[in-house]
Each structure stands twice: as structure tokens, then as C-alpha cells.
Chain A
Amino acid sequence: MRVDLARWEFAFVTVNHFFFVPVTIGLAFLTALLQTAWYHRKNPEYLRLTRFFGTLLVINVAIGVVTGLVQEFQFGMNWSAYSRLVGNIFGAPLAMEGLAAFFLESTFLGLWLFGWDKLSRRLHLATIWLVAAGAMLSALFILAANSWMQHPVGYVTVNGRPQLNDIWALFTNPVFIWGYAKVLLAAITTGAAVMLAVSAWQVRRGGARDVFAKSTRLSLIVLLPAILLAMLVGDELGVIEARYQPMKIAAAEAQWTTCQPCSFSLFQIGGGNNDHTPTQLLEIPHLLSLLATNHWNGKVIGLTPLQNQYVAKYGPGYYVPNVFIQYWSMRVMAYLAIIIVLVALWGIWLSRRGSITSYSSRTSRWFLWAAQWMVILPFLMNTAGWFLTEIGRQPWIIQGIMLTKNGLSPSVSTTYLWISVIVFFVVYATLGTIDLILMLRYSRKELPPGPAHADEPVPAMQY
């Protein structure tokens, strides 16, 4: 009971936090691109766009920062046995994150917002790039910590306790390198999808159609390579996880028996931990072998033989993660990615013909409508991605070292857990809704006019 509550709480606050994080990383990067365009071309339209999307960025950063506080505390609050055991390894990247990334991001965000009229344009441009760098750096450190839970490296066991003995190994962990690349690309995809959706709405309904056509194009140019690379990197990450966490990948295909070569099913009916023979539809031969091993005829070990191996190695227990969630998380991610690719290609084709701006054809109206609603997809994909990663690691909190149920805080009662679950649920639901409403409202605001001439001073953004 306690372990379920603590896991639900972790999933709830983390999934919520990760709604805001990729938007921060992606939008900070795109806002920095817009401001760079203004700096070089002196075209005031880019200034107007920078400040428009900068406002959305700060609304989002505010809630991203405060939900991040909960992340920092909850390892000690709910998972104190885990923290006590491996704080010397897992805590190190977290402390580095604070020192290297959080200070950078928050200090320079303040300078960027309030420093428009106090810093030279060059220096002010540097501040938004440092905000973007800080956001990207924070993901780097937290991914290094998370990857260590997926594939522990760089430690020795002394008296049954893991001790860090090679910090560099944490940052050269293949799960980290590919996982970090994946998260960055997913974040840029999310940011670009947000910018695209807002721009599309503004082109459809707003006043400054020509200006937003510019940000539509920019977001499309960023979106297409980001999502394509994310898919490629995700594929490689799958191969690496198949090597270190074979359960995760076998569960993602609901593959109970060992196969060679293995086919990939597009859909299945039934399935789950109690149904080992679901009806798998539209099987594509060799595709699973390719995804899991990079080889046409690669071998994938099934869940049942893996379970037997684990029992022999770690003692009696059930080591299979939730197969149903794994199977569908993977497919949600992959199928939605394909939709994004198609919409992005459509948009680039339209904008090459120049018909986004002219807004004449029926096709471009359909495209703008689709681009606007597509914004939901990256959030679903990000959530599915974390389900795949984190639920796929179960029942381990640290793969092969500690079981999740053994990581709980011994001193926290079921009642206290319930209280914190309910409190955070209410607070997040309320503030998340307010954030969503504010984001929508500010996305639909009319674009304020720009300065009359290029060297006019730009006022600060204030509270």
C-alpha cells in the first residue's frame, strides 16, 4: 500500500513537472533564436515575437521552477532508504545541477526580463542564451542521475553499500548519452510544437498575420529535424536499453517467448501480465529485431526466460514490469511521432509555396487548424516516454541493486502519504489549470506594436 501511494505520488508530480520542463527548454531555445534574429537583422518584427513568446516562456518557467522544488525534496521525503543508500552517487549530479544549472537559469532569467533597458543589446542577447543553456544543463544532470538508476555504473560495493568511485562513468553511461539526447530533442520538439500552435492560431485569427507567419516558419524549421532526430535517437536508445534492461524492451513488445528474428506488431488485442498470448495484429517481420538489436535477424529474449534468469540471479520474486503499459507507451510515442513528422512536412511544403502567409487556400486553413491541435501530442509522447522508462525499470528502483519497495521511507506512515498525495494533487490541479488558462490567454493576445525605429530603447518586462 505505502509503496503504491509513493509511486503514484512520484508519477503524478514528475509527469506534471515534465509538462513544463520541455516547454521551458524548447521555448527558451526558440526565443533565443528569435532574439538573435532581431539582433542581427534589426527587424522589429523579431523583437515583437521575442517578447511575445518570452512572456509565454516566463509564465511556464514560473510553474516549472516551483514544481521542481517538490522533485528536489521528494527523494528524501518518500524514498529515504533509497537516498540513504545511494545519496553519495545519485545526490552528486543533483547538487551539480543546482550549482551549475539552476543558478544560471534563474539569475539570467531575471536579468533577461528586467534588463532590457539596462544591458547592451549584445549582453542582453547573451542572457537569453544563458537561460536556454541553464535549462538544457539542468536536464543533463538529472538525466545522468536517472540513467544511473537504469544502468548503474562507476561504483564499487563496500559492505553491501554502493560507493561512487568514478564520476566520469556517470556522464559516459550510454543510457545517459542517448537518453539525454532524446530528452533534449523531445524538449525542442515540444517547444517548437507550442510555438507552431500559437503562431498557427494567430495566423488564423489574430491581427499580425505576417509577423506570425515568420514564427510559424521558424518553428517548422526547428520541428522537423528535431522530431526526426528524436526518432532516430529513440531507436538507438531502445537498442541500448535492450542490452542493459532486456525486461523493458521485451515488455514493450509483450514478447513472452524468445524469438529470432522477431516481428513488430502494430496493435494487439488483450495482453498484459496475465495474458501471455494476446492477438497481435499487423505484424511487420524483422522490425523488432531491428529496433532492439540493430540487426535484421537479432534475437530478443522473451519475458518468461528473463524472469527465470532473474529468479536464479536475484532470488525468488516477480521481475516483469507492467507489460500492458509498456506495450502501449511505446506505440503512443512512435505513432504520434509519425503524425508530427507528417504535419511538419505538410507545413514546410505549404510555406515553400508561400501559402501560409497568403492564407488563401483551403489546404493552408486545414494545416493551421491541424498545427494548432497538434500541440497536445508532444505532451502525450513525453508522458508515454517516461512511463516506458520508469515503469519499465520496475520492480527495481535501481536496476539490479535495490527493489522499489525497499527504497521507501520507513518513518512515513500511510496516513502521512495520503495527506501529501491529496495536498499535492489539489495544489497541482488548481495551479496547473490556472497556468493552462494563462498560457491560452496570453497566446491569444494581440501582438503589441514594435518600436517606430530600430534604435529606440526597449523597456523592461516587469511584474
Chain B
Amino acid sequence: MAFVPFWFVLIAVLWTGFFILEGFDMGVGMLNGVVGRDEAGKRTVVNTIGPLWDGNEVWLIVAVAATFAAFPGWYATMLSGLYLALVLLLCALIVRGLSFEYRGKSASERWRNTWTWLLAVGSLLAPFLIGLALGDLLYGLPIGANHEYTGSFWDLFTGYGVFTGITLVAICLLHGANFIALKTTGDVRVRAGRAARWIAPVTALLTLAWVFWTHVTAGGGGFLNPVELIAILAILAAWVLVGAHHEGWAFTAMTVAIAIVVITIFVDLYPRVMISSTNHAFSLTVHNSASPQYTLKVMTVVGLVLLPIVLAYQAWTYYVFRRRITDESFQPALGAAPRPAVSAAAAMAGQPPEGGHGASAAATAPQPPRRGLLHRPRRHSGHGRRDEQ
């Protein structure tokens, strides 16, 4: 059995899954402040991906770990070569991951604004840097005969790599805006739809330019291949569908477009995995970087057993959280404190949910003035006390 090509395909699939799923998380993160606008809106926006983002991010970890197991040479050259870019990527992913959990943990406005910003910046940097990395794989980096990277940090910023990064950021923005519109109601949905219609033409044009540049980079003759044509059609369809307020169909078109964009990179790469701009003979290929047959066989069995199970329960998660989220559940009720100082913990008062959410219960309780993070909770501060209802 051809384990080596199989694992190349599987890694391409993992990156595709990552960009389809985490792509909208990144977009939601970037747009959180803009589309959310006020506190209730921002919380609505963040909670559209609340139960999903963590599981989506695992696609990245598994893509990297699968590369480690199946193509150790690729993993070693890529991660040591992209060194400082990855330090930056890790920082972006760290602050972004924490911002979901920590943002609501203090009522201080400065605290929340800081995390809103960190979420946006982290969500912008992550797809840009990963796009830069994927673009560089195809465009070529200075790699010596011993398969070691010989360039510096600045050599990573190839024109094509940077443009791939920018294109993926734009794609994530559109995917995220459309996802918020798909998952919310009321003002947030209207604002998200408006943002999507602004972003759609920019994303479509960038993606078209990217398809042509990729075609040239990969040296693909006078005609576009069918995969590239589908990418163009899908992104144009997404543009039209966003304009026509068909959120569900636009989401489908975006999914197709993202899948094709990521797959295009891998199709053009094969059988190489990292092209050497120093000398094409030094390029890493699936063959000279792969693990021996036995490891690939073991990992194939493990992957074929586990991946369908993972897909099944992740799909089920999306089914469980299929309903739209309304920002009413995050609105402060009349007579409440000026800030809806509600976090996951405060919402745990065990109150019956109103409109499907429990946050409102705690929001109605008058809050004592707080001094931010170091504030020590006073006893009887009345987090969602029953008698206040």
C-alpha cells in the first residue's frame, strides 16, 4: 500500500480541516470588537464559537504532530527554519486561547478591552503566519544539501508567502463574518452581514489574484486547472451569496473555497514538501523526509480508526449547538448595574434560564462597585441571589 502518499494526503486534509473550522474562529476573533460593538454584542459574538474553538484548534496540533510522526524530516526543517515566526505564532495562539476564557473573568472595562484586542490581534497573526509558512513551502526557502534551513527570519517574508498570508486572513475574515451572521439574531446578525458584504469583494479579488499567482509559482502552463477553477467559482459564489443574505449557502461556498485553496497548495507541492530555493535538488520530498513503512503502517491504522470517531463527535457538537444565539441573554436588565458584570462563574447561580440562557439571572443582581482584577469578593455580594429576582 502507498503509505507515503496517503500520509501526505492526510496532512493536507488536516490543514484543510483546520482552516475550514478554525478559519471562522479566527474571523470571529478579529471581528469580535467591531461586530460585537457593546458588551452584550461582544459576548454574543464570542459565544458563537465558545463551545467549538478549542476542538477546532486541535486540528492544527494534529496536523503538526502527524507531520512529526510521518515526515520527521519535514517537521524538523520546517519548525527549526521558521523559528522566530513560530515563536510569534505561539504567542498569538496563547493570548488568543486565553482571551476566550479570561475576558469575562473581571468586570473591569480595561481588562475586557485588553483581552478583546489581544483576541483580535492573535486571531489576525495566526492565519497570517500559518499562511506565510504554507506559501513559503511552495515558493521555496533557502535550504542546504543537508536539508537544514540556511536563511534568516527576514528570508521568510517572500512576496508569495506574504500574499498567501494576507489572502488567508481575508478568507478567515469573510468566513468569520458570515459565521456570526449565521449564528446570531438581531443587531449583531445585521452588523455581521454588513461586515461580510464589505469584506466579500476584497476577499474574492485577493483570492482570484492568489489563484493566478499560485498557478504561476507552481509553473502550471497557460490554462488554469480544474481545481483552480473551482476555487474561483466558489469564492465568487460566496461573494454573491453573502450579498443575497444566504448565510447557510455562503458558509458552504466558503467551506469549498477554503478547502480548495489549501488543497491547491498541497497539490502543487507534491511530491515535494519544502522547496529549496538554493537548489531544487535540495528540496525535501515526501520520500526523503518520510518515516519508514512500519511507522506509517501503524499510524495509518490509528488514523483510520480514530479520525472517523473524531469527525463523528465533532459533527455532533455542531448539531448540539446548532441554534442561533441571541444577544438579549447578555443584555443587562433594567435597573441593573451599568456593566453587565457576568461571567461564566457568575452565571452559575443555578437560576432557571430566560430565553435559554442563565446569564440574565445574575445580570439583574445589583453589583457592588469593583476595582478590577485584584478585587477580592466580598461576602454577600449578591451574585444572582434568588431573592433579587
- Contact: A412 with B80, CB < 8 Å? yes
Beta-carbon contact of B50 and A462 below 8 Å = yes
* Contact stretch, chosen from A50-58, A282-290, A346-354, A375-383: A50-58
Q: Which of A94, A95, A441, A458 has the most CB of B within 10 A?
A: A95
Say whether B29 faces chain A, with CB atoms less than 8 Å apart: no
Bound: A78/B53 CA distance, A:
28
Do A72 and B101 touch across chains, with their CB atoms under 8 A apart? no
Number of A residues contacting the other chain (C-beta, 8 Å)?
95
Residues in B with CB closer than 8 Å to A76 are 64, 68, 75-76, 78-80
Interface residue stretch chosen among A106-114, A244-252, A258-266, A306-314: A106-114
Total A-B residue contacts, Cβ distance less than 8 Å: 311
When each residue 28-49 of chain A gets 1 if its CB lies under 8 Å from chain B and 0 otherwise, what string results?
0000000000000000100110
Question: What's the minimum C-beta distance from B360 to chain A, rounded to whole angstroms?
Answer: 9
Given contact pairs A96-B299, A110-B51, enumerate 5 new A-B contacts (beta carbons under 8 Å): A55-B348, A59-B101, A73-B90, A104-B313, A448-B384
Q: Determine whether A463 belongs to the interface, using a CB cutoff of 8 Å to chain B.
A: yes
Q: How far is the CA of A419 from the CA of B350 in the complex (A)?
A: 47
Distance of B270 from chain A, by nearest CB (Å): 20
The minimal Cβ–Cβ distance linking B24 to chain A, given in whole angstroms, is: 15
- A117–B291 CA distance with the chains assembled, in angstroms: 46
Place the interface of chain B in its size category.
Answer: 35 or more
- Which residues of B have CB within 8 Å of A1? none
Residues in B356-389 with C-beta less than 8 Å from chain A: 356-359, 361, 373-377, 379-381, 383-386
Residue A84 at the chain B interface, CB threshold 8 Å: yes
Q: With A and B bound together, what is the CA distance between A115 and B259 in angstroms?
A: 29
A403 at interface (Cβ–Cβ under 8 A)? Answer: no
Set A48, A85, A110, A463: member contacting B55, Cβ < 8 A: A110
Q: Which residues of B contact A108 (CB under 8 A)?
A: 313
Q: Can you give 7 contacting A-B residue pairs, CB < 8 Å?
A: A48-B350, A89-B295, A91-B70, A95-B66, A411-B80, A416-B153, A419-B87
Query: Cβ of A75: which chain B residues have Cβ within 8 Å of it?
Result: 68, 75, 79
Interface-facing stretch out of A62-70, A181-189, A225-233: A62-70
Once A62-B101, A461-B344, A462-B43 are accepted as A-B contacts, the answer to whether A99 and B52 lie under 8 Å apart by CB is no
Given A88-B295, A103-B310: A96 in contact with B377 (beta carbons within 8 A): no
B72 interface residue per 8 A CB criterion:
yes
Contact partner of A83 (CB less than 8 A), chosen from B68, B102, B385, is B68
What chain A residues lie within 8 Å of B2 (beta carbons)? Answer: none
Q: Is the CB of A110 within 8 A of B94?
A: no
Closest to B321 in A: A114
The 3 closest A-B pairs by CB, nearest first: A459-B358, A87-B72, A76-B79
Partner of B344, one of A55, A104, A409: A55
Q: Is the CB of B377 within 8 A of A81?
A: no
A95 touches B352 (CB 8 A): no
For A316-334 the 0/1 string (1 means CB < 8 A from B) is 0000000000000000000
B295: chain A residues within 8 A (beta carbon): 88-89, 91-92, 163-164
- Contact call B317/A111, Cβ cutoff below 8 A: yes
User: In the assembled complex, which residues on chain B have CB atoms less than 8 Å from the CB atom of A90?
Assistant: 68
* Complex interface: chain A residues within 8 A of B104 (CB): 462-463
Nearest neighbor of B384 in chain A, beta-carbon distance: A448
Among A291-299, A337-345, A431-439, the one that faces the other chain is: A431-439
Which residues of A lie under 8 Å from residue B41 when comparing CB positions? none
Please name the residue on chain A nearest to B52 by beta carbon: A110
B150 CB, min distance to chain A CBs, angstroms: 7
Expressed in whole angstroms, the minimum distance between the Cβ of A160 and any Cβ of chain B is 14
Residues of B close to A451: CB separation below 8 A: 350, 352
Task: Verify B51–A102 contact, CB threshold 8 A.
Answer: no
Given contacts A100-B306, A119-B320, contact A87 B61 (CB under 8 A): no
* A398 CB to nearest chain B CB (Å): 14
Task: Determine if A102 and B87 form an interchain contact, defined as CB atoms under 8 angstroms apart.
Answer: no
The answer, yes or no, to whether A270 is at the interface (CB within 8 Å) is: no
Q: Would you call B349 and A448 a contact (CB within 8 A)?
A: yes
| B201 CB–A CB distance under 8 Å | no
Which residues in window 134-185 of A have CB below 8 A to B? 158, 163-165, 167
B42 and chain A: residue at smallest CB distance: A463
Contact between chains at B76 and A164 (CB < 8 Å): no
Any chain A CB within 8 A of the CB of B230? no
The answer to whether A99 touches B86 (Cβ under 8 A) is no
Q: Are A62 and B50 in contact (CB under 8 A)?
A: no
Partner of A115 from the list B51, B298, B381 (CB cut-off 8 Å) is B51
A452–B57 CA distance with the chains assembled, in angstroms: 39
Q: How far is the CA of A96 from the CA of B298 in the complex (A)?
A: 10
Please report the C-alpha to C-alpha distance between residue A89 and residue B76 in the assembled complex, in whole angstroms: 14
Chain B residues near A452 (CB-CB < 8 A): 386
Contact B349 A457, beta carbon cutoff 8 Å: no
Does A420 interact with chain B (Cβ within 8 Å)? yes
Contacts of B19 in A (CB 8 A): none
Nearest-neighbor residue (CB-CB) of A50 within chain B: B348
Chain B residues with CB under 8 A of A111: 51, 317, 320
B84 at the interface (CB under 8 A from A): yes
Across the interface, which residues of A come within 8 angstroms of B93, CB to CB? Answer: 66, 69
Given contacts A462-B357, A462-B359, contact A73 B86 (CB under 8 A): yes
Chain B residues, CB < 8 A from A411: 80-81, 83, 148-150
A458→B58 CA distance, assembly (Å): 29
A445 and B345 in contact (CB under 8 A), knowing A72-B65, A100-B306, A164-B294?
yes
User: Which chain B residue has the least Cβ–Cβ distance from A65?
Assistant: B97
